[in-house]
Chains A and B, each alone.
Chain A
């Protein structure tokens, strides 16, 4: 077939040009957005939380939304549905505590307590029947920095909007989403993530195998295999940059806020009054991040006060801020301020070794933890690693010998 290059009359040229423009606009202006909407819908981004939680308990799906910051509501629904004996509550820095580490039913409500007030709200909203016997509270030192806002309001879970269709186009543009994935999910309705056997609910869970497991713990998915285009903390560059810029949790503060200590005391007292045994843990930062904070002197002056306060708490409490105390290296972290699975196994093991009378002791399988932590130098524990179809890579670009299993 040949295309004529003969000049056209003004009217015919206009008809052809405007016709093509209209055709393109119909196809791409209506077709692609419709495909984007279908993609989000079939990925499960608009599925109601009770249904998500029910599916997770039924088939072990991972829930990872790319649209919603709905952890508080999700974890509340999960904790209510599971009614576990042990509950972990805290920020994202408790998310690597998993059911498989415990001998009794466990739920991880990490990210439901990003501040003291949010923790209070979570406990107030948790039905009495879902109240655990033991609660691990992951304490973040910056909760007590008066320079940090006491509370960040949560955004409501959103419905379908035109803005979300922009997002799909943006993901395609940034190569975070391929046309093949768009087609696979939107048209064929596939939910497999290609890395683990868990089906996904939500775009992040399906495309990046990242989200929350049925027990509420965090799955980092393709980050472990260095295939996550959204990951930006190679060499802890992002965390150290935030540290220098006093950004987010790394807001500088010379002194801790006494009022916030009192607020936390009251929270613990309420828990004990309700018959819940609290165990407070300050989880580790990566070694070079903690060293950088220490090197900044009074900029993080409040840290020492928080550590003293933690040591004096009238409940079981542990300070693991320094990963060296656990024998954990930087290669076992998932980023600058989140340890990997192995780090959290080390935390539990250290509790058992330091305090055999710990309330946690009868709930933990010490032999399994000991075996898991033998695989030092990796973020993923051996059981999770076995579920992955690809091996853990040096995603932090620290020169970690992941394949060999050494640091």
Chain B
């Protein structure tokens, strides 16, 4: 079930909210937890009921391991942690990477090995990482085991199950202990407002610009030569598509959780406003960056053993971060390219002359262009497709392509979207959910509880709903099966 599907918006969510508020008003925390856990499993099982067994096995196995780790001492404790990490990575490896590894090994060794394609279970990358982090914290003695129902909800909580944010137990479990206490109308209204802002971004902005990206990438895939302008239009269109897709999803997740009185961590903070790549990674998929930093970069040594080791560690993190997005060399290339960008950025900070600092506006523009350039292998299906598009972007394509008929309109739309991402406040600032840049914004640009804002927000919701219902098919989120 997708957040942007009529079934979710008109059936699942209203039912879940009504039952939750009824249960909450009776004042039993455990009942609220059990209900939301059950609703989350229904939400997950709707996609494919047989994979409920997988997620329940994963939750059950990790819960048992966490109990064991908390109780054990010394070497046994470490062994249980290793077992837990192996269990989680084994599941992820089998479902997500088995085919990739077998195909590449066969290619490398010149063998005819093959296996059947395996269906990637929804959200496996997210619930695997979340549980690995939990086991590590158990091993560190930073948490005591919760009740099974709360643990299940911690893993399967439907607002963040499918595509994050990747949450820490310390962000969620204390909130679940108070779940349903004094349900607030204000949370419901704020949650709905944020949710519909996200839906607007997804169904109007992301899906609206996706046609230009698809036209260019599909033309290149079909072997059609594209012009430089077209190649940039297609790449920028995809850059905006994934931006509003993920931003919209993150808003929807935050809004949904807030309706139930739960505050999720921020996952997206205007990344195209970043003035350098280091800044970009503080704003894009923030909880994934946090996970990789805490559970991969720091254990590898971080920046403690000199410049060269720091760069090596960073590159490993970025390559594996790329691979986390999917079993495809395109994702690895995307991660690797960002690793190179980060190395250049760190190098610039370290060695550039004191007076030679880029103006923020120039930095922002350069960063955006670098990010857009790197999205190409992320979206392209094959290496030749990436090559052809990069070549075209660098001026090596045809003079005038035919993938996009209305290039003027496309440029106008992209310029409008650029103005949106560079000048408007992000949802968390606008709504007051969090204040990352809110202090720099004029008061009129921030949501207030006034009649005009109520009408504006209701209109925004209506526009998003109208487009959502009008679409013959629900468009998946790009992070849906990562």
Contact = CB atoms under 8 A, between A and B. Distances in A.
B75 to A, nearest CB: 55
Main SS class of interface, B: helix
B450 A6 contact: yes
Nearest to B458: A20
A14 B189 contact: yes
B448 interface: yes
A8 B449 contact: yes
A28 B463 CA distance: 10
B472 A170 contact: yes
Contact of A21 (B185, B186, B222, B458): B458
Contacts of B358: none
The SS class assigned to the A binding surface is helix
Interface in A255-288: none
Given A4-B451, A8-B450, A17 B470 contact: no
A29 B11 CA distance: 14
A24 B469 CA distance: 14
A169 B470 contact: yes
A374 interface: no
Interface string B349-387: 000000000000000000000000000000000000000
A173 B458 contact: no
B465 interface: yes
Contact of A13 (B449, B467, B470): B449
A17 B185 CA distance: 11
B449 A24 contact: no
A173 B469 CA distance: 11
Given A7-B449, A24-B458, A173 B470 contact: yes
Contacts of A245: 222
Contacts of B188: 14
Nearest to A237: B402
B470 A20 contact: no
B454 interface: yes
B457 interface: yes
Nearest to A171: B470
A169 B449 contact: no
B450 A10 contact: no
Contacts of A28: 462, 465-466
Contacts of B426: none
B450 A4 contact: yes
Among all A-B residue pairs, the 10 with the closest Cβ atoms: A169-B470, A20-B458, A13-B449, A17-B454, A24-B462, A16-B454, A14-B189, A10-B186, A14-B185, A21-B458
Interface of A: 3-11, 13-14, 16-18, 20-21, 24-25, 28-29, 163, 166-167, 169-170, 172-173, 245
Interface of B: 185-186, 188-189, 192-193, 222, 448-452, 454-455, 457-459, 461-462, 465-467, 469-472
20 contacts: A5-B452, A7-B450, A8-B451, A10-B185, A14-B185, A14-B186, A17-B192, A17-B193, A17-B457, A20-B458, A21-B458, A24-B458, A24-B459, A25-B462, A29-B469, A163-B472, A169-B469, A172-B470, A173-B467, A173-B470
